[in-house]
Amino acid sequence: MYWSSYPYQLYGRNYYMGRLIGEVMPYTGAHFLMRQGREMQEYPDYMLAALNIQPGMVVADIGAGTGFNSLRLARLVGPYGRVYSTEIQPDMLNHLMMNAYIYGHSHNIVPVVSSHTNANLPPNSCDLILMVDTYHECINPPAVLHGIRQALKPHGQLILVEYRLEDSWMPNMYDDHRMSVSQAKFELESNGFVLRQVLEFLPWQHIMIFNKI
């Protein structure tokens, strides 16, 4: 079946390549991002350990929310590394930087106000770009992915972590907030990336590792 390579709207919702795009969580739901029990659902430290993040690296956390992963990234890259934490909602970034200050990471986390079409990252700057439960909410994937390709260094990696659509049922999770490997591969390989590896050790999520081509 043919799908348009451009995002489109139907009955007030956004679609891309046949996929219904998830709606962005508003700042009023920020407490859900730091909810008790999230660590036991997503195992963020195990996820990040698998990515081989080294001290001194420059990484980006797109859709960083209130800092659930950005704070961990800041600890991994150390005082000489840098974390670009991007958000389309300034209130989320304010909350994130307050958390960064509390946990002693405000020196190496750089808040970035992004948009639905641009992550606003410096060109050729990032060793690794992480999107955790975020890509499925991008209403203009081609534009966002174009900016990500420009921001990655030549051998940089884009990491998508998404709840598995292949699982038949998942508590408190709508299908438009989950993704299959085949759909993610289809979309990203249509936008200048190649899928290098899929890790499946997390309870509910895929870890999909892409390189730009």
- pTM confidence score: 0.94
Q: Are 161 and 47 in contact (CB under 8 A)?
A: yes
DSSP state of 164: B
Beta-strand relationship, 8-10 and 13-16: antiparallel
Q: Each residue of 96-130: pLDDT tens digit?
A: 999 999 999 999 999 999 999 999 999 999 999 99
- Which regions of the chain are under pLDDT 70? 1-4, 29-32, 34
Please check whether residue 130 is in contact with residue 152, taking contact to mean a CB–CB distance below 8 angstroms: no
Per-residue model confidence (pLDDT) at position 120: 97
Measured distance CA(149)–CA(60) in Å, rounded: 12
- What's the pLDDT score for residue 70? 98
Task: Return the pLDDT at 2.
Answer: 56
**Amino acid type, 117:** T
Which string of DSSP letters, residue by residue, matches 8-49? EEETTEEEETTEEPPPPPPGGGHHHHT-TTHHHHH-HHHHHH
Q: How far apart are CA 165 and CA 20, in angstroms?
A: 13
Rounded to whole angstroms, the Cα distance separating 55 from 163 reads 28
CB-side neighbour CA atoms (13 Å) of 70: 35
Specify the pLDDT at position 197: 98
